Amino acid sequence: MRLISIRCFGLIVVFGLLPILLFYSWNAWSGSGVVIRLGQRGSIQKLLEERTKGFVGGHDNIAYHVNEAVAGRLAQNACVCEGDPETFRLPLANLLFPRVWAHNLHLSFLSSHPDPEGVKRHRAQEYSSSQKRSYTPADELIVAEANSPLQYPTQGVQVQPLRTAIIPGLGLREETRANHTVHLTATLGTFDVAATVDAVSVKGDGEMHMTVSSPDLDALNRQLQFVTYTNTVFNPKTADTVQFSTEGHRSFFTIKVGHDRVPELYNSGSPGEYNISALVTIATKTFLRYDKLKDLIDSIRKYYPTVTIVIADDNEHPKAVPGPYIDQYIMPFKKGWFAGRNLAVSQVITKYVLWVDDDFIFSSNTKLEKMVDILEKTTLDLVGGAVREVTGYTATFCHTISVEAGGEDGNCLHIRQGHHHSVDGFPSCVVADAVINFFMGRTEKVRQAGFNPRLSRHGHLEFFIDALGSLHIGSCSDVIVNHASKIKLPWSQTSSEKAYEHFRYSSKNTEGVNPDENFYFRNRFKCMTSN
């Protein structure tokens, strides 16, 4: 009875406290929305002046009044992470009304790092390099001067999903008349003004269609500098087409809606001399060729004793591959070539991944530092080397790939031997669309392109066709890896070598996807040409 009484008392306490909890939580929630902190007005005004500077000049002297409810939603490039304060301590409070927590990475990480200033510089360099690689002139803001009376941005306007941004460059240039009017119409968001200008009428603020008018053209143009767009339909990758019009004239421009790209930076230590062990992981796939794999590993260790080697192994009876800095991953039997590539690359934690076949052999000419150097100093995402056969012949296997539109039946794929142009500063390197099966790439970019796991026994160019348009590729003829001899007399072949040839070259092998199906259905090609 005593235990039951205690439990009943506890329930009474909990339910008695619920109204109090709801009261506190309601007060907390009712204050949600845009909060303008004390002292923020000055920073908002400075922000507006920066965002509107240089557009439709000659109107900076016209006064305006900050609309704090709208202006406070603009990105200020000064984010802070703040947790919710603990207002009360009651049983089940965190369970029923969890608080937002905040963690200062800047202080936490740097306070325990032996060289905080060095790692800050390294991160800044990595970020700068990442931004340069992802930059495209299509991201630049371009404003069309008023060839018609309307002036507007033709590209470079972007807003994050469900966020607000000023539309730069809006303006009207026409002869003086009794009243000047412009209209804005959107489909995925609403318009508003971050500040108001006297003698200007704004109708439809907070709506998808807004009209701005004034008898004073200068005042109208000043007001247009503060027009904002707020995305209201969540889609992390889309665009809104905005109609901007006046009497007798109509124009359109797009506002990109999307999240800013989150960089993937690699902390590989000192940004000075290349530490290959910290920058590069070697990945390979093996099947029925443990003898060749051993020769490969022995040759790697002669030149790079501490570089990590990742092995994808789909043998029926796998054997352990011993040695330091070796990660062996066992796959289902005969899972396949590209599936193994996906597995191996998925386990790489370094900035770059070097792909090698399991029958390659490193030599003094296999200088990974050269590959790292061109990837560090250019916008290339992947760079191939050269493979030397036992006959002395050295190949780079450079190809160009293009796709030609072909109508309802599909497109045309054209593959040609050769390259596009040389790489400035690297006389032995060229730009191409496909390279040999010995290449180093930025790990995250290779993962993005991926390998079609249905290609189980055959496939090489298929990877580069899938990567067309997403990977910037080069080839350097002065980084060479040797190819183990494939010349075997029939009576000298081992059972493993015979089994490998059966799986690799047998025309009766029906495993995986038909190459024609891959190109016809998956890539929507109706035909292909090559030389």
Give the fold, CATH level 3, of 276-529.
Spore Coat Polysaccharide Biosynthesis Protein SpsA; Chain A (3.90.550)
pLDDT at residue 456 is higher than 90: no
Helix (H) or strand (E) holding 13: helix 2-30
Q: For residues 452 and 466, what is the distance between their CA atoms, to the nearest angstrom?
A: 9
Confidence grade of residue 160 (pLDDT, cut at 50, 70, 90): very high
Confidence grade of residue 30 (pLDDT, cut at 50, 70, 90): very low
pTM of this prediction?
0.73
Pair 286, 293: CB distance under 8 Å:
yes
Mean per-residue pLDDT, 145-173: 90
Q: What is the pLDDT of residue 116?
A: 83
Q: Judge whether 139-258 and 276-529 match in fold.
A: no
Q: What is the pLDDT of residue 523?
A: 86
pLDDT at residue 410 is higher than 80: yes
Q: For residue range 270-315, list pLDDT tens digits in order.
A: 666 789 999 999 999 998 889 999 999 999 999 999 999 999 998 8
- Under CATH, to which class is 139-258 assigned? mainly beta
Q: How many angstroms separate the Cα of 232 from the Cα of each of 29, 152, 236, 519?
A: 21, 22, 12, 40
Q: Where are the domains positioned within the chain?
A: 139-258, 276-529
Which percentage of the chain shows pLDDT scores above 90?
51
Tokens of 489: 């007399």
Mean per-residue pLDDT, 350-371: 96
Query: How many CA atoms within 13 Å lie on the side-chain side of 468?
Result: 16
In 359-400, which residue ranges form alpha helices assigned H by DSSP?
Answer: 368-377
Q: What is the pLDDT of residue 53?
A: 66
Confidence grade of residue 129 (pLDDT, cut at 50, 70, 90): confident
Is the pLDDT higher at 527 or at 1? 527
> CB within 8 A of 248, min separation 6: which ones?
none
Mean per-residue pLDDT, 85-104: 70
Confidence grade of residue 260 (pLDDT, cut at 50, 70, 90): confident
Confidence grade of residue 8 (pLDDT, cut at 50, 70, 90): low
Helix (H) or strand (E) holding 277: helix 276-279
Q: For residues 443 and 186, what is the distance between their CA atoms, to the nearest angstrom?
A: 40
Mean per-residue pLDDT, 126-131: 79
Q: How many residues does the chain have?
A: 531
Lowest mean pLDDT among 177-181, 352-356, 384-388, 506-510: 506-510
